[in-house]
Amino acid sequence: MENLEQINIIFERYLGPREDLKKLKEYYYLYVSALKKNLPAENEKTLLENKIKDIRKFAAFKAYSLYEEASKKHDNAILLFYFLVVLTGLIIGWSVYLFFKNLEHSITSQELSIKLEKTQTEYKNLVENINDIFFMTDCQGKIIYISPVCEKIGGYKPAELIDKNFQDFIHPQDLTLVINAFKEILSGKVFPSEYRVKKKDDSWLWVRSSAKPFYEGALPKGIMGVLSDITLLKEKEEKITESERWYKDMFEKHKAMKWIVDPKDGKIVDANDAAAEFYGYPKEKLIGMRVSQINVMGEKIKEEIDKAVKKEKNYFEFVHRLADGKIKNVRVYSSPVKKGDKEFLYSIMQDVTKEKEALDKTKTLFNMIDSSLNEIYVFREDDLKFEYANAGALENLGYSLEEIKFLTPLDIKPEMSKSKFYELIKPLKKGEKRKVVFYTAHKRKNGSSYPVEVHLQYYTEDSKGYFFAAIDDISERVKAEENIKKLNSLYFTLSQSNQAMVKVKSEKELFEEIPKVLVKYGGFHTVWIGMMEKDKSVKCVFSFGSGADFIPNLKIKAEKNNPQGECPTAKSYLTEDICYENDWQSKVPENFKEISEKTKIKSVCSLPIKKNGKIYRNLSVYSSEKDYFTAERIELLKELIGDMEYALSKISAEENLVKSEERYRALFENMSAACCVDEVIYDEKGNPKDYRILDINSSFEKVIGYKKEDVIGKLSAQVYGGPNPLADIFYKVADTGESISMETYFAPLKKHLYITVSSPKKGMFSTVFYDITDKKKYEEDLEKTRAAIEQSGDTVVITDIMGNIEYVNPAFEKITGYSKEEALGKNPRILKSGVQERKFYEELWETVSSGMIWSGIMVNRKKDGSLYTEEAVISPVFGKNGNIINFVAVKRDISEKIKTQKELMHAQKIEAIGLLAGGVAHDFNNILTAINSYAEIIYQNSSQENKEDIKEIISAAQRGVSLTKQLLAFTRKQVSSPKICDINEVIKGFEKMLRRLIGENITLSIKYCDKPCLTVIDPSQLEQIIMNLVLNSRDAVGESGYIEIEISKNKIETFLASKFSDSSEIISLKIKDNGCGFDEESKKHLFEPFYTTKEKGKGTGLGLSTVLNLLRQNKGEIYLESEKGKGSVFTLLFAESKNNNEENRQEPYSFSINKEYRETVLLVEDEDSLLKLGKRILSGLGYKVFTASNAQEALSLALEIEKIDILITDLIMPGMSGKELSDKLISQGKIKKTLFMSGYTDDIIGKHGVLEKGVAFIYKPFSVNSFLAKVRETLDSK
């Protein structure tokens, strides 16, 4: 009964109310009960059979009535759908009848069981072979069964869908609808719905779903239902909707005035823009007005509306009043249209005001009537003689005007009697009708006739009655209607053919029945089936009709340039397409003439019948009517061919099924899967306790390691050495009949198995399983590999052999910016940067294509356009046959690595320069100190004429000092003494010097800030920064130009907030010039050490690099704005200092050189020239000076000196340092104050602790004045 339950929903879908199915079920149980009682009474048995037959007839009738309903609508898509319904209905009805009929011959319970199994198989085949998809799901929506037709309709095999959730295949826009429907169905409600499901090729399929719940006990266990493919129907609905939109646009946008009127109340329900514009009303107001408000006839217009609705009249002349009161003559064409069950009038208005005036002239009116293509007549009431006939009437009938005046309408209407004619004109004469329309035929003077539509009106003139007749020649219309009748005949023939196809069981029956149906119901002259032999001749398989006798004698060969191939049948074979000839008599080949003249065949059509994609047979159809095979009729014949091809495939499938059953045993024995058939053993209470193995195949023997003879007939506990851990699952399947598939670890065999358990009958089950132990291990390894690739920080790209990307890992997306969807299917050239030349890629491709591994470094481009450098290894992947099937690239972004390497190289370069600078600085500074100081002394004592030369010496020494400072600043080894200072004051302090440096030919403009601009910086370093930038500008300006310095205080911009987080304002120092400027390439390297844009010998390349390093030491920022040929602006930014305490602002120490000092000085210096210089300078001011060239000498000398006021010592000396010397003398009580000197760099000096606050220190080289000032400052300090 489960199978009957499964097809219930199919009956509900196609065969009507559930009550009939209940009867079917009831009759089934009665019948089975009767059979179990052994041979029921004959009368009861007969009555039961009749009931079953009634249900079968009801099924066929119900299905056919649906088809008839569709036929009346002339809807091809619906006809095709209901044709399938008819076919399905007949199959189901007939199968039900056969089912009970077959049961009749079973007597014993064992035979009944066998019959039931066979019937179940038949029902299963029925469910699986209908064109709709039968499915079952559990209560969570997991698919537990789906019929094989899902592969034909959706592309999925059933196994691909089992255990999947149906929601995974629902269109996102339909998912909520389907989920709600699912809930409603589970609650027991009928909820048919339409939605889209995904096919295997990712396209969408429209389906109509009918479903119901099925139960286990009182609870629903899931739902079962049928999915019908309605994609074609939906497409047709879409076309209808599109057509409606098209017609709506035609209505709205047409220049002609149009409106739609409800004839019941005369209200305008819609109007287009042209109507609103013409009548002068807003469109929204015009819609809703009554016609009587516009038409001057007022309420009388209702009569005219009624006539239009009844189609008594569709043309009207009215006078309409516009919104501004103007009166217009309007011609209205009205036709009734339906929307649903409601009827409306569709009207087109034409402003004929001017035309009306013109048409008032009789002559114009007469000319129009006379030149009309329609036949126009006027005949008298008294004798019916023609008074007038226009040129169109005379031309059509072939009479002259003089001849026609002696005739009456009855003379040209031979089919109409006088009495009938008088009956027609009677309502006109009585005034009951204004016009009579009827159809008849007119007879020409030459005796030929043609159909016409007559519009007859009655009027009087001078008390005499006349009839006005307007005649339409409707020959074309009649011809079209006749064509529709023939198409309907073909539709009916198609239906009969399909019914015949349902009944046939073999190809022979099919090819005999179809020609008979086509001749009998389609009215064809002759129809025959042809088959092409090996020699290309076409042999008649079967023929039927008037020419059936001569068909077998036809000599047709499907060969080009062969006279026997000059017919549609041969051409159809040659072209593998439909071939037809609608004027066969005039174009018949010579070898067919005699037969054609005898049979009077006028049209011939031949259609190929294909099987498995190739021409198998040929259907030739002959008609006695010329031009019979129109496009519409050929389309219907093509549908017939499609149905025949389907029937052929079905017949082949049924024949294959028989062969399949014969091969079942061989398949069972030889299949790779292990198979076992088992029987459940129950205890006294009916509970399962074990199961017996009934049969196994050879694969089962291999898996469990036992021979067949050692297993068959034994209990599972005996075979596996104890209870089977899966036994409860097996028992459930045997009891419920519901199949289960699963992966599990089977402990008794210590193996992973994939098992499918099904039940051929209650109390039995079969298992089909595979040993997947190795597969599980492989999958685990594969998962580890997949996880490693997915989580790898390196890019992994897999392409096909053409280089199209098939896989990228997440690292690829992160690094390149391309998503996986964007990359798949593309070529890796999307990353091409243009840095590598074409030859580079050609060599790469040649390497991997030849089966070798390529490795190297390349520059690629990200999605955002930025470049990055990759280290890549690209390898070919070989298939089992040894051919390359893929390429895999593993790449690492080494951009940061390269950047770090560059920074390291830069740091190493700086360090090397620093080591050089630090080593040179001490000795160089000592030399510069001596040169500078001696030059100052000579300057003071020289004549005016020598002073200029001495100035040059001092200037050269200062340049040496500046160069040393730049070198030390560049290497960040310069001693820095940051202080709070006002940038305004610092620049003012050396403004004169700046002006001297740039020369008089260059204008220097300085704009000081009107507020103090306090910041923390080493003033000398600030001077060095400004000087370097000003000198740079001087060189850029050339011989003439201007340099502008501007100091200002500003609020911090958002983008600078993170850099100056401790300040609310920043100090800006701009140095602007109108010099040569910098190009883009120069700006990239401008702050790099040793980079210069100046000519060779005119720049060291350290100036701007030094500026950048000094700014970084003092926490400042620098920005450049420049274009080639347009000058430059360097903007320096410093954090504002809020501390304006004068104590923190150090001013140069002042002393008098004219005063004589008496303090005792111990001077220690290992450089002999500086030692002599120091003694000379200090002695010149009165100091008592003792000198020593090293620390040991100084210690010895100190013992001899009674009092030492100050120790002035070089910091770094051979043996003992100056700091150690100072500490010893202090500990001996010899000194209290020490002034340290050094020409070494900051990092070396800092190690000795003399840069700490409170320690007196002077950096070499120094001037005489600065040295003396520092000595005096140290002595005077507390």
Per residue in 987-999, pLDDT (tens digit) is: 887 788 788 778 8
d(CA 1060, CA 1051): 11
Q: Given this model, what pLDDT does residue 430 score? A: 86
**Residue 320: which residues within 8 A CB-CB, separation 6 or more?**
279, 294, 295, 296, 327, 328, 330, 349
In-domain check, residue 905? no
Q: Is the pLDDT of residue 1210 over 80?
A: yes
Which pLDDT score, from 0 to 100, does residue 11 have?
Answer: 42
Residues 305 and 340 in one domain: yes
pLDDT in tens, 398-432: 998 888 888 988 888 888 888 888 888 888 888 88
Residues 238 and 256: beta-carbon distance below 8 Å: no
The number of domains in the chain is 8
1227 versus 373: the higher-pLDDT residue is 1227
Q: 450 and 493, same structural domain?
A: no
- Mean pLDDT to the nearest integer, 52-69: 46
pLDDT in tens, 539-557: 888 889 888 888 887 888 8
Burial label for 828, CB within 10 Å (0-12, 13-18, 19+), is: buried
Query: Predicted confidence band at 1225 (pLDDT cuts at 50, 70, 90)?
Result: very high
- Chain mean pLDDT for the chain: 80
> For position 1265, what pLDDT does the model report?
82
pLDDT of res. 365 = 60
- On whether both 1164 and 1033 belong to a single domain, the answer is no
828, pLDDT greater than 50: yes
Q: What is the dihedral of CA 280, 283, 284, 290, to 10 degrees?
A: 70
| For residue 20, pLDDT beyond 60 | no
- Compute CA distances 918 → 914, 930, 1099, 1256, whole Å: 6, 19, 22, 22
* pLDDT(1122) > 80: yes
- Please give the average per-residue pLDDT across 88-112, as a whole number: 50
User: 361-372: per-residue pLDDT in tens?
Assistant: 656 566 666 777
pLDDT for residue 568 is more than 80: yes
**Residue 32, both tokens:** 């089975």
Indicate the pLDDT class of residue 91, thresholds 50, 70 and 90.
low
Per residue in 857-879, pLDDT tens? 999 999 998 999 999 999 999 98
- List the CATH number of the domain containing 1175: 3.40.50.2300
Q: How confident is the model at residue 631 (pLDDT cuts 50, 70, 90)?
A: confident
* Residues 96 and 56: beta-carbon distance below 8 Å: yes
User: For residues 462 and 137, which has the higher predicted lDDT (pLDDT)?
Assistant: 137
pLDDT digits (tens, 9 = 90+) for 135-181: 899 999 899 989 888 888 889 999 999 999 988 999 999 999 888 88
Distance in angstroms (rounded) separating the CA atoms of residues 945 and 291: 121
Whether residues 456 and 591 fall in one domain: no
> Residue 1235's pLDDT is what?
92
Q: Does the residue 920 lie in any domain?
A: no
- Residue 1008's contacts (CB-CB under 8 Å, 6 or more residues apart) are 984, 987, 988, 1047
Say what the pLDDT of residue 906 is. 66
How far, in Å, CA of 890 to CA of 139, rounded? 47
Token pair recorded at residue 1210: 């070089």
Summarize pLDDT for 511-520 with one digit per residue, the tens: 888 898 888 8
* Residues of the chain above pLDDT 70, percent: 79
Of 62-66, 324-328, 402-406, 776-780, give the lowest mean pLDDT range: 62-66
**Does 1266 have pLDDT greater than 80?**
yes
Q: Show the tokens assigned to 1097.
A: 């010998």
* pLDDT at position 70 over 60: no
Q: How confident is the model over 1053-1062, as a mean pLDDT?
A: 60
Q: Among the three residues 721, 750, 776, which one is the final residue of a domain in this structure?
A: 776
CA 121/CA 144 separation, integer angstroms: 19
Mean pLDDT of 793-797: 90
pLDDT band at 1136 (very low <50, low <70, confident <90, very high): confident
Is the pLDDT at 506 greater than 60? The verdict is: yes
Tell me the residue ranges of DSSP E strands in 805-883: 805-808, 854-861, 867-878
Among 202-211, 235-244, 322-331, name the one with the lowest average pLDDT: 235-244
Q: End-to-end CA distance of the chain: give it in Å, rounded.
A: 118
The C-alpha atoms of residue 1208 and residue 76 are separated, in whole angstroms, by 118
The residue-averaged pLDDT of 493-502 equals 76
Q: Say if 157 falls within a structural domain.
A: yes
For residue 977, what pLDDT band results from cuts at 50, 70 and 90? low
| Confidence band, pLDDT 50/70/90 cuts, at residue 50 | low
148 upstream amide cis, omega within 30 of 0: no
Q: Which of 298-302, 1059-1063, 1119-1123 has the highest mean pLDDT?
A: 1119-1123
pLDDT computed for residue 816 by the predictor: 92
In CATH, what number is assigned to the domain containing residue 1031?
3.30.565.10
| pLDDT bracket for residue 663 (50, 70, 90) | low
What pLDDT score was predicted for residue 912? 66
Element (H, E) at 134: strand 133-138
Is the per-residue pLDDT at 226 higher than 90? no
Residues 226 and 119 reside in one and the same domain: yes
Question: pLDDT above 90 covers what percent of the chain?
Answer: 16
pLDDT at residue 1165 is higher than 80: yes
State whether 526 and 399 are in the same domain. Answer: no
- Confidence band, pLDDT 50/70/90 cuts, at residue 8: very low
For the ranges 460-464, 556-560, 664-668, which has the lowest average pLDDT? 664-668
Residue 901 lies in a domain: no
Which pLDDT score, from 0 to 100, does residue 84 have?
A: 46
Please say if the pLDDT value at position 346 is more than 60. yes
Asked if the structure places residue 921 within a domain, the reply is no
Q: Is residue 936 part of a domain?
A: no
- Domain boundary pick from 357, 372, 402: 357
Mean per-residue pLDDT, 511-537: 87
pLDDT for residue 444 is more than 50: yes
Instruction: Say how many residues make up the chain.
Output: 1278
What per-residue confidence (pLDDT) applies to 933? 77
What are 602's two structure tokens?
């006028």
Residue 1230 forms part of a structural domain? yes
**Residue-level pLDDT at 1153:** 54
pLDDT for residue 968: 62
Given a contact cutoff of 8 angstroms between Cβ atoms, the answer to whether 411 and 381 are in contact is no
Which domain, by its residues, includes 682? 671-776
Nearest CA among 1068, 1064, 1070, 1022 for reference residue 1049: 1068
- In CATH, what number is assigned to the domain containing residue 652? 3.30.450.40
CA 518 to chain centre: 50
How many angstroms separate the Cα of 663 from the Cα of each of 119, 660, 666? 20, 5, 5
Domain-terminating residue out of 732, 752, 776: 776
506 shares its domain with 650 = yes
Residues 582 and 680 in one domain: no
CATH number for 209? 3.30.450.20
Same structural domain for residues 9 and 157?
yes
1140 and 1165 assigned to the same domain: no
At 605 the pLDDT is 93
Structure confidence at residue 234 as a pLDDT band (50, 70, 90) = confident
Q: Are residues 502 and 562 in the same domain?
A: yes
Domain annotation covers residue 940: no
Residues 1136 and 1220 in one domain: no
